Amino acid sequence: MISAEFHPELGKHIADYPPNYAYTARRVLAGVLLVILGIGFVLVGLNVFRLPIAKGLWESIAAHATGGIFAASGLFFAVDGIRSTGPRVQVYEGGFVAGRDVFPWDCIEAFFLLRAELDTPGIPVSLTEYTVRCDDGRQVRFTIGVCQAEILAATIQERINPRLLAKARAEFVGGKQVSFDDASIDAEGLKFADLASGRTKQVGWNELSGVEAGGLSIAVRRIGESTLARLAGADRIATCKVANPTVFLTLVAEVVAAHRPNV
């Protein structure tokens, strides 16, 4: 039996991140309330509940449609809340354990993040999701259905980013293409899948001003870019499709600075 304080592969125990059942309860409760509301609209449409207003065919159709939307949304909230709960994550000196899967720091090759929160009173809406992928193809996803998920995500990145950044630097200096999934860099410049068009674009180092993180997307800035283009966000990369976004942002900034030493 493996001790909670020591793991034979990963060493000393550091922290525990259990499933966030409070978040699950709020999601399920919100879902149930929406389903009840949806059923209420349907019953009104069926004249089970009579309202003191004139109601015709179109009003009945609207009541049924509204009820269906509320009920479907409620089912989504409840099911997604249950599905996104956990897993329990135990962090050790040499890696972490998610459920029964072991993830040594040295075997992790990619970290993806999608961070989006909607502050709706009483209804927790979150699209935040973190994905960790090992070099053998195994991966684990977790959301705020794990307690202190943001701290856990920061801990994982702190452990893996120095090694991954050193590796990316070495590959770039060696003349190789450094891949970050939907984005890559080489001696010629930056290549990426544009968020708006889906097309692959390339920007040379002599025209690239830099890249800026912006929540759901990373903006690609060009030298001499107009104010209108900057406001419109002409070129963007989906953050969730970029492996190791912090490493990507750091390396691109270093290369851009090296190509513009007098700026």
Does the residue 169 lie in any domain?
no
Does the residue 168 lie in any domain?
no
Q: What is the pLDDT of residue 139?
A: 95
Does the residue 163 lie in any domain?
no
What pTM was estimated for this model as a whole?
A: 0.84
CB 222 within 8 A of CB 206: no
Q: Are residues 12 and 125 in the same domain?
A: yes
Q: Are residues 226 and 126 in the same domain?
A: no
Q: Are residues 151 and 225 in the same domain?
A: no
Give the single-character DSSP code of 196: T
Q: What is the pLDDT of residue 1?
A: 40
Out of 158, 185, 219, a domain closes at 158
Out of 112, 131, 158, a domain closes at 158
Q: How far apart, in Å, are the Cα atoms of 224 and each of 193, 200, 221, 249?
A: 22, 22, 9, 20
Rounded Cα distance, 65 and 258, in Å: 58
The H or E element that residue 62 is part of is helix 57-83
Does the residue 1 lie in any domain?
no
Q: Are residues 40 and 148 in the same domain?
A: no
Q: What is the pLDDT of residue 23?
A: 86
Q: What is the CATH number of the domain that holds 209?
A: 2.30.29
Using DSSP's 3-state secondary structure scheme, residue 93 falls into: coil
Out of 40, 59, 83, a domain closes at 83
Give the single-character DSSP code of 137: S
Here the tokens at position 229 are 């283009």
Q: Are residues 76 and 38 in the same domain?
A: yes
Here the tokens at position 36 are 């009840």
Does the residue 34 lie in any domain?
yes
CA angle 98, 99, 100 (to 5 degrees): 100
Q: Are residues 15 and 116 in the same domain?
A: yes
Q: Are residues 142 and 92 in the same domain?
A: yes
Q: Are residues 62 and 102 in the same domain?
A: no
Q: Are residues 72 and 15 in the same domain?
A: no
Q: Which domain, by its residues, includes 199? A: 177-259
Q: How far apart, in Å, are the Cα atoms of 231 and each of 20, 124, 162, 200, 208?
A: 38, 30, 33, 22, 17
Does the residue 143 lie in any domain?
yes
Closest CA to 92 of 136, 156, 151, 147: 156
Given a cut of 50, the residues of the chain with pLDDT beneath it are: 1-2, 54, 263
Query: Looking up tokens 């009920």, which residue turns up?
Result: 71
Rounded Cα distance, 34 and 94, in Å: 44
Q: Are residues 100 and 129 in the same domain?
A: yes
Rounded Cα distance, 123 and 107, in Å: 38
| Direct distance between the N- and C-terminal alpha carbons of the chain, in angstroms, rounded to an integer | 59
Domain tally, the chain: 3
Q: Are residues 14 and 120 in the same domain?
A: yes
Does the residue 172 lie in any domain?
no
Q: What is the pLDDT of residue 123?
A: 53
Q: Are residues 153 and 188 in the same domain?
A: no
